[in-house]
Amino acid sequence: MIQVEKPLPFMQMVCMMGVTTSPLDLKDCSSNDPLLRADWTVWNEGHLVSSGSSTTTGDDKFTKQNIFKFLGKFPGEAGKKYVVKVTFTKDCTPLNVANPHLIVTKIGYE
């Protein structure tokens, strides 16, 4: 996931990040939005485990301080090491004011 702060007006951040709850949320966004577009792959010992795109999730979250754009998820196995590669497919440097962070974390059951 990508975590950003909200230094700009909320709807501007929603458009830039592509975090919408419905297609109607995009009606006020420009044709250049979203700025955050990414493809990702996950590898284990040179073998492709999973892949996806930032446009295929919809599990985005909002807090008082942050917006979280989920890029995707993959099934992992305990004891295995994974390499995650994220390729940003659009220039999203205007998001630098929002202090972006890439977060890879374990979710689910033990």
pLDDT at 15 over 60: yes
Q: Which of 98, 75, 84 is nearest to 19 (CA)?
A: 98
Q: How confident is the model at residue 75 (pLDDT cuts 50, 70, 90)?
A: confident
Give the predicted TM-score (pTM) of the model. Answer: 0.81
Asked if residue 13 lies in contact with residue 4, where contact means CB atoms within 8 angstroms, the answer is: yes
Q: What is the pLDDT of residues 22-66, one digit of tens each?
A: 666 667 788 777 888 899 999 999 999 999 988 755 678 889 999
What residues contact 37, with CB distance under 8 A and at least 6 apart? 18, 53, 54, 55, 88, 89, 90, 92
pLDDT at 109 over 90: no
Residue with tokens 């702060």: 5
Give me the phi and psi of 2, to 5 degrees please: -110, 130
